[in-house]
């Protein structure tokens, strides 16, 4: 729900990213940017002082740049480069958490950067909607978290923990019988990840459109916010940075002044206000890229603007989009063209 990505990159692709990083290039692609080719687009990292997060040189956007360049569509390639050369969240898949986490963090470490990881595998995920799934049960989830932690090790990582997991406890989407276990799993995940030497953890805390911080602050406490570095707002959503800061500050005041991060990946034009209200979050038209990732936010409570959602990946099979998490080149191009240079 709310536009989450349902699956992470395969372990082999994660490991491949290390080799590509060392080589200084990424693989190319066909006209849709989804298949590997022999000519790669040169993708550069952002200045570490303002944006310490790793740019994946073999991400979907990078492959799309290569595909457009190969077919002579240089203008479109430059538009997609707006996405390809920004760090985005790497969503760890359910099958090989240790290998994926290791691959991404090793690649980031070799580049002198921090990996941005998103963990989205809680049991009974997404209430049966576009990104439904998750670990089979609590024990499976604990084992998965152990794998992620083993893969990260002592390398630097920033983790966005379980988008929507707390919100769906509060809004009644997740049945009551699963609430106690979910709080236990989230708190255990925070404890495990914070035992690592160089890992920061931010619990997902909804968005400005939800607008009920009075109802979510206590669930955040039950989920382990006291031990976490803070919380994340606007993940995979479209609310403006200004509104997200206001929402985050109101919530921060209720959880001991915790810091927060904002997903600005697609909030350049704010939220969509047309169509079916229940699906305005899903591949809305007319949106734009938002503030580029940075730790220089000019607000002491906001640790970073991040692109947690990878711009150009579908929210689900709505409005002509492919399955959740699949690369959608035409939508990516619209986002890029609608954004300011």
Q: What is the pLDDT of residues 108-130, one digit of tens each?
A: 999 999 999 999 999 998 675 66
What does the buried/exposed string (b/e) look like for 40-54 if buried means 16 or more CB atoms within 10 Å of the residue's CB? bbebebbeeeebbbb
pLDDT of res. 95: 94
Burial (CB < 10 A; 0-12, 13-18, 19+), residue 254, is middle
Angle at 219 between CA 135 and CA 178, to 5 degrees: 35
Mean pLDDT of the chain: 89
CA distance 235 to 248: 12
- Percent of the chain past pLDDT 90, that is, above it, reads 81
- Percent of the chain past pLDDT 70, that is, above it, reads 86
State mean pLDDT over 134-139.
96
| 248-271 tens-digit pLDDT | 999 999 999 999 999 999 999 999
CA nearest 94: which of 145, 157, 59? 145
pLDDT of res. 131: 59
CA distance 164 to 168: 6
pLDDT of res. 278: 86
State mean pLDDT over 214-240.
98
The one catalytic residue among 76, 243, 263, 315 = 315
CA distance 284 to 288: 10
The one catalytic residue among 51, 76, 164, 243 = 164
CB 88 within 8 A of CB 265: yes
DSSP E strand boundaries for the chain: 90-92, 115-119, 157-161, 199-204, 230-233, 259-263, 302-306
pLDDT over 90 (residue 10): no
CA distance 218 to 199: 24
User: What length is written for the chain?
Assistant: 341
pLDDT over 50 (residue 52): yes
Question: According to the CATH classification, is domain 11-338 in 3.40.50.10470?
Answer: no
CA distance 146 to 121: 13
- Tell me how far apart the terminal alpha carbons of the chain are, to the nearest angstrom: 30
Annotated catalytic residue 137:
no
**Contacts of 215 by beta carbon, 8 Å cutoff, 6+ apart:** 170
Phi, psi (deg, nearest 5) at residue 195:
-75, -10
| 12-49 tens-digit pLDDT | 444 444 443 333 333 333 334 333 333 468 999 999 99
Annotated catalytic residue 126:
yes
Annotated catalytic residue 204:
no
Quickly tell me which residue has 């290569």 as its tokens. 66
- Annotated domain spans of the chain: 11-338
pTM of whole model > 0.85? yes
pLDDT over 80 (residue 283): yes
The one catalytic residue among 51, 58, 109, 126 = 126
- Report which of residues 30 and 80 the model is more confident about: 80
pLDDT of res. 2: 39
């Amino acid at each position: 729900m709310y536009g989450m990505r349902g699956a992470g990159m395969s372990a082999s692709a994660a490991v491949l990213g290390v080799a590509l990083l060392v080589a200084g290039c990424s693989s190319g692609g066909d006209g849709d940017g989804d298949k590997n080719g022999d000519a790669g687009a040169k993708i550069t990292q952002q200045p570490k002082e303002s944006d310490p997060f790793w740019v994946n040189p073999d991400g979907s956007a990078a492959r799309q740049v290569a595909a457009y360049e190969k077919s002579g569509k240089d203008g479109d390639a430059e538009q997609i480069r707006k996405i390809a050369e920004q760090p985005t969240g790497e969503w760890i898949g359910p099958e090989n958490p240790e290998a994926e986490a290791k691959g991404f963090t090793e690649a980031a470490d070799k580049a002198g950067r921090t990996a941005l990881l998103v963990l989205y595998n809680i049991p009974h995920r997404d209430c049966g909607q576009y990104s439904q799934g998750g670990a089979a049960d609590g024990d499976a989830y604990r084992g998965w978290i152990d794998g992620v932690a083993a893969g990260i090790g002592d390398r630097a990582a920033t983790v966005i923990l379980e988008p929507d997991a707390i919100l769906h406890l509060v809004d009644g989407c997740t049945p009551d019988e699963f609430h106690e276990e979910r709080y236990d799993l989230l708190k255990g995940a925070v404890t495990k990840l914070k035992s690592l030497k160089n890992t920061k953890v931010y619990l997902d805390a909804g968005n400005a459109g939800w607008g009920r911080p009075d109802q979510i602050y206590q669930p955040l406490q039950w989920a382990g916010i006291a031990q976490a570095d803070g919380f994340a707002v606007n993940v995979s959503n479209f609310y403006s940075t200004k509104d997200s800061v206001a929402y985050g500050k109101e919530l921060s005041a209720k959880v001991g002044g915790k810091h927060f991060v904002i997903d600005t990946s697609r909030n350049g034009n704010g939220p969509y206000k047309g169509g079916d209200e229940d699906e305005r979050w899903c591949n809305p038209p007319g949106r734009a890229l938002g503030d580029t990732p940075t730790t220089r936010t000019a607000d002491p409570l906001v640790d970073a603007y991040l692109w947690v959602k990878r711009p150009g990946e579908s929210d689900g099979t709505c409005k002509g989009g492919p399955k959740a998490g699949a690369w959608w080149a035409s939508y990516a191009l619209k986002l890029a063209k609608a954004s300011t240079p």
